[in-house]
Amino acid sequence: MYQQGDKTKKIKLLLILVVIGVLCSLIVIYAKYRNAMNRPDGISVNLSQGGTLSIKKISQTATRNGVTEWTMKADYANYSEFKNEVVLDNISIVFFLENGEQLFLKALKGVLHTASRDIEVSGDVVLNNEKYQLKTERMDYKHEKRIISSDRPVEITGPAVKITADTLFFDLNTRRTSLAGSVKGNFNGSSIF
């Protein structure tokens, strides 16, 4: 009879340990599930065999000598290790100038060359500051020299001004703009050719 009581105690102890183990497992599963659900949307990563990496909601900042030169955000990025480039969708860039001014660029598509940090954008390209807005279909940014250029027709509008040209060259360091090819302007209602 003494052995029967020992068996009963052992069974009760075993059942208690099983219940505790199940509860601990449920707590661990709940904690992992909760952490997975609290992740931001932008951490969805897809790796493929072709040496590419796809990321949703990307942002990047370029600095030189501790000074921020530009920040970029995009809804989607597809990085190709073999091409050393990132293909971007719905891209927006803020360029920071030495005088504290900011230029805002938006485009439907973009390509960031990872080695040079040069950027190409296309599709409904809009570049603006507080006063002026530039529209074109394609634009390039050369990071080393901090130059924005477009080999496509551009339209610049602002307070009492509208200018069109076939090409644009803008130096972010000197804030110097060059327009070429069929440059036409309208200032305060007066046309200039």
Instruction: Tell me the average pLDDT across 48-73.
Output: 78
Report residue 9's pLDDT band, with 50, 70 and 90 as the boundaries: confident
Least confident of 50-54, 90-94, 96-100: 50-54
Report residue 28's pLDDT band, with 50, 70 and 90 as the boundaries: low
DSSP string computed for the chain: -HHHHHHHHHHHHHHHHHHHHHHHHHHHHHHHHHHHHTS-GGG-EEE-TTSEEEEEEEEEEEEETTEEEEEEEEEEEEEETTTTEEEEEEEEEEEE-TTS-EEEEEEEEEEEETTT--EEEEEEEEEE-SS-EEEEEEEEEETTTTEEEESS-EEEEETTEEEEESEEEEETTTTEEEEESS-EEEETTEEE-
Domain ranges of the chain: 1-38, 43-192
What's the mean per-residue pLDDT of the chain? 80
- CATH class of the structural domain 43-192: mainly beta
pLDDT at 50: 53
pLDDT at 53 over 50: yes
Q: What is the pLDDT of residues 171-192, one digit of tens each?
A: 988 888 888 888 888 776 544 4
Report residue 74's pLDDT band, with 50, 70 and 90 as the boundaries: very high
Q: What is the pLDDT of residues 132-164, one digit of tens each?
A: 899 999 999 999 999 999 999 999 888 888 888
